[in-house]
Amino acid sequence: MFGPSAAAARIEASKSYSKQLMDRAGIPTGRWDAFDSTDKAVAFMDELGPPTSSRRTASPREKESW
C-alpha cells in the first residue's frame, strides 16, 4: 500500500489550508478568502470583479452525516 503522507494529503484535501500554506511560504497564488456566509462571499467576489470563482466546502457538521 502506498500513498501521500498525512501532511501531503491535507494540502491536497483542503483548499483553505493549502492557500494559507502558500501565503505563509510566499508562494504566489490568486487572491482568496474563506467565509461563513454566502453574503460575505458574494461581496468579496463583487469587490474582485470578473473573472472569479468560488468553491463551497462542507462544514464539519455536514461531514459527520456522510
Condensed to tens digits (0 to 9), the pLDDT of residues 5-36 reads 888 888 888 888 889 999 999 999 888 888 88
Looking at the domain assignment, is residue 1 inside a domain?
A: no
Residue 47 lies in a domain: yes
41 located within any domain: yes
Measured distance CA(33)–CA(40) in Å, rounded: 10
For the chain, give the mean pLDDT.
Answer: 83
DSSP string, the chain: -----HHHHHHHH-HHHHHHHHHHHT---------SSHHHHHHHHHHH-SS--------HHHHHT-
Full residue range of the structural domain in which residue 11 is found: 6-64
Would you say 16 and 57 are in contact if contact means Cβ atoms under 8 Å apart?
A: yes
The pLDDT value recorded for residue 26 is 95
Q: How many domains does the chain have?
A: 1
